[in-house]
Amino acid sequence: MTDQAFDTLQIHAGAEPDPATGARQVPIYQTTSYVFKDADHAARLFGLQEVGYIYSRLTNPTVSALAARVAALEGGVGAVCCSSGHAAQIMALFPLMGPGLNIVASTRLYGGTITQFSQTIKRFGWSCTFVDFDDLAALEAAVDDNTRAIFCESISNPGGYITDLPAVAAVANKVGLPLIVDNTLASPYLCRPIEHGATLVVHSATKYLTGNGTVTGGVIVDSGKFDWSASGKFPSLSAPEPAYHGLKFHEALGPMAFTFHSIAVGLRDLGMTMNPQGAHYTLMGIETLSLRMDKHVANAKAVAEWLAKDPRIDFVTWAGLPSSPWHERAERLCPKGAGALFTVAVKGGYEACVKLVNNLKLFSHVANLGDARSLIIHSASTTHRQLTEEQQIKAGAAPNVVRLSIGIENAADLIADLDQALAAATA
């Protein structure tokens, strides 16, 4: 199946005709539970001796179809769907972490992720050290005996910065830790982090995977390549798991250890489950992922090139521009395009940014990205508001920049809207 091309897999992977009815499209299995054939069948399912459906907090056929499809598109061995991108991040860390342990993450992350990692995970006794991932020596130096994962975004929010994944993966490999890559902004169509050394890939399915601003969802894909037993640092996966009858997940399930643990323990006890209706919308979205991403990228190029020449603009961060410091990485790691999210520094600073946002008509002012519609947000006063100005600048969300998420409308119409709003903002 995975020998097929991306645009075939995005329609067919994970979606056989429904075994019960022959329905060609994946049905929405709006059910909580599944009748066991007999008591022995039930016992075998609970013992993980047989794979099947028990209860929809754990697995559901519609949600499983989506997991299989995203795993195929990312080139992983298994995937788990979650209730949101943030849930996927916690679920990705959950089997690896414990009180007193830490992760090392890039400074260039989605604002909500910086808050999750710098504040909220402390309540679990976990912590995070943030490092500039362009400084590989600093990245390696930040790893200590209690580090259990390295975390970054492939294309990062909000500036469209491109992480040098092979270089970061080499460090992760050297220190023997899993590399977790948030691939939300690229989607597997533009970048496949597992091919560049990622252990786990996380997604906010809320964004490009669904593609139309209808669903909140997340996915974790496992490469199946990490040896969870080698270092003794991941006892949930390598040692008898007390929360699951003492099962040794890695020994029993091999490359599927992480995926099974995430379902049997993670979803069971954290309950961050995706609902079947949401999975259905995301499956529908993914059917057109390659078509949409090509159009997102073409529009981003047209808008970024126009803005970069405009005297009212200080700079544009889209990595597809030859002037971008990340241009070489974009060509190497995202050859089909550098995504469609970037920031624009407006002459006139904070005030001009606010006026620009207020005067746009076609662009919507919302805290979302990866929609068919073009979106804008002034990060410093919204998504990155909880951060200090220094953190804002490090995250690429300085007060003088707005973030654009370029949709799939007509590029000339988007440029006309920006032109009139810039005129009003800088008058």
Ligand X SMILES: *Cc1c(COP(=O)(O)O)cnc(C)c1O
Q: Which residues bind ligand X (CB under 6 A)?
A: 84-86, 110, 112-113, 153, 157, 182, 184-185, 204, 206-207, 216, 218, 369
Nearest residue (CB) to ligand X, 74 versus 153: 153
Looking at beta carbons only, is 85 or 348 nearer to ligand X?
85
Q: Residue 106 or residue 299: which is nearer to ligand X going by CB?
A: 106
Please say which residue, 204 or 299, places its beta carbon nearer to ligand X.
Answer: 204
One-letter amino acid at 124 equals F
Question: In this structure, what DSSP letter does residue 386 have?
Answer: T
Residue whose Cβ sits closest to ligand X: 85
Q: Which of 97, 142, 143 is nearest to 121 (CA)?
A: 97
Total H helices, total E strands in the chain: 18, 14
How far is residue 180's CA from residue 307's CA, in Å, rounded to a whole number? 33
Distances (CA, A) of 210 to 130, 201, 217, 222: 30, 17, 9, 20
Question: From the CB of 60, what's the least distance to ligand X, in Å?
Answer: 19
Nearer to ligand X, 86 or 192 (CB): 86
**Distance, CA of 252 to CA of 256 (rounded, Å):** 9
Give the nearest distance from C-beta 204 to ligand X in angstroms.
Answer: 3
| Whole-number Å distance between alpha carbons of 228 and 237 | 6
Instruction: Using DSSP, state whether 274 is helix, strand or coil.
Output: coil
Phi then psi dihedrals of residue 194, to 5 deg? -60, -35
Q: How far is the CB of 215 from ligand X (least distance, A)?
A: 9
CB of 20 to ligand X, least distance (A): 31
Smallest distance, ligand X to C-beta of residue 327, A: 21
Q: Looking at beta carbons only, is 204 or 238 nearer to ligand X?
A: 204
Backbone angles phi, psi at 377, to 5 degrees: -150, 145
Note whether 197 and 274 are within 8 A (CB). Answer: no
Min CB(120)–ligand X separation in Å: 13
